[in-house]
Structure 1
């Protein structure tokens, strides 16, 4: 393997690693912030902050408006993943502990594997199935180890399940948009769509 080929391969694993780390820390942060903010207000605050940063990056990089062909995927992922997923997760974490929430939401990658095979025709290669099984087993172990002694609320588990489903559908619907627009455009405008979806929660500060 040449050095140039190696340089081209490392950004994707690095980005995935950073994403997993930040996503994992969010479960604990949401649990803490949920004591002071309603699920919708918390989602709106997170999305508004993300939108500000992403819009700044768009302006600095002079990245333009996404092509029309990318908008169905951007809008769908913005509503489902950035919007519904975040509110459902915030609400669910008020009812269950962070470990249980992480375990249930990590059904998402399993659903993504199945949905991408059906909707995107990506197939189910054996390494992908093994990786999905290992990842979900790890989430179950973590969830079982950190679950509260009082047991999980049925409502909380159902809300986390809604979060997992909307996350999975949003991710799968987002992927076709990447054929027409850059990752920055898809992420930034999806976040903006999610912010607009959560605007009705403005002012719902407390529990």
Structure 2
């Protein structure tokens, strides 16, 4: 999934970006609220992480923009302010969660998983389509009893398909949620990675799970 990170502490910004990227997320990062607004106007995000105290526009201002423009992406505030009043203000402003600095990167990723589960109406870390399972916590993927090894980008694509199981996703929508603005590859990148997934997920299985909807895009579903 694709995440926007707005954090003005350069070292922390880079550490979080590296962690989320290594976990398979596509990350667009910036250092102030004005840049965050620019990113939000150009892409849809599955989650947004905002530092509250940022130059040019603080996290509260960015959050107001997100909600005023009708975007429903879950928002997590990062802040050094730890009073109850500050936490209440953050949550009452429309944030979905609130993490106080310093924090564990593992806790941050767990909170992101919790927020995105809520967004997609998922109640557990295990996603399933037919005999295919994906554990969003450990990133383990299995088809029946067979474990499947995926690259970070293949995992990210499969997770997004499974979160939207039964829904046809256009190539444009898939690309927008899986690749960030730094990507400089070919225009057929979605088709290429779908091909990679098909070989690993469906292979010689009789019951194919990844389907092409001609003229539109792809979907994952167990068909009877």
Query: Is TM (by shorter chain) over 0.5?
Result: no
More strand as a share of residues: 2
Q: Which has the higher contact order (CA 8 A, sep 6+)?
A: 1
More helix as a share of residues: 1
